[in-house]
Structure 1
């Protein structure tokens, strides 16, 4: 009987993961599509950058079919992108290394680094704006 069989399943799974892929502890992000209105996204326990990206976009009510049109950029309150679009790997690493429970990390989410979504864009249960779905 191996050592891993003596551990609870949650510890066995965590022990089997490489150290850089352990799920994140309590981490909250602050995200915006316009540099003015912000949402808090709890990514605690995130296993990878793809998971983080999906949760950010879903928190902003962006339909899954449109996720590929959006990029996530490092940012600060009141600003748009302050760097290039983040790959899933870079997003996970940045959140792992610099994220915290108080939401110190800020991100700008848009289809372009220097443009907020149109002011008439509304992410509601009524659907996504036609202007973005027709492109």
Structure 2
């Protein structure tokens, strides 16, 4: 099992299951799907490597499909050690915020 962690705002994160992905495009699709980024908006978004607690702070440049696949192969693991930031710009959340993450009531 291989998992990565992705966020559009640096505060809320989603676990993305990438086991069996054969290329970077497949991983990117899974990331966008998990973050509820609609198909028609996906061309506006870029994926960057990041770390938890770094506000809107990608590490390095935009990840191409080949680099994304390579990075996931090298650093992806079952505990989600690899963190990714997904946005329309490297230094801030998306301009038009994507649909909010669902809120779960855990008090029941």
Q: Would you say same fold, with TM above 0.5?
A: yes
Unaligned runs of 5+ in 1: 1-25, 125-135
- CA distance in 2 between partners of 1:75 and 1:36 (Å): 12
Q: How many positions carry a matched residue from both structures?
A: 98
Taking structure 1 as the reference length, what is the TM-score of the superposition? 0.69
Higher helix proportion (structure 1 or 2): 1
**2:86 aligned residue (84, 89, 109):** 109
Q: CA deviation digits over 1:69-123, x for unaligned, max 9?
A: 00000000022211100000000001011110000000000000011135x8241
Equivalent residue for 2:97? 121
Task: Give 3-state SS (helix, strand or coil) of 1:54's partner.
Answer: helix
Give the structure with higher Rg (CA): 1
Equivalent residue for 1:94? 71
Unaligned runs of 5+ in 2: 101-108
- CA distance in 2 between partners of 1:86 and 1:62 (Å): 17
Shift of 1:28: 0.4
The structure whose RCO (Cα within 8 Å, separation 6+) is larger is 2
Equivalent residue for 1:43? 18
RMSD over aligned Cα, in angstroms?
1.4
- CA distance in 2 between partners of 1:36 and 1:110 (Å): 13
* Aligned 1:10-89 pairs, distance under 5 A: 26-79=1-54, 80-89=57-66
Shift of 1:53: 0.4
Task: Give 3-state SS (helix, strand or coil) of 1:115's partner.
Answer: coil
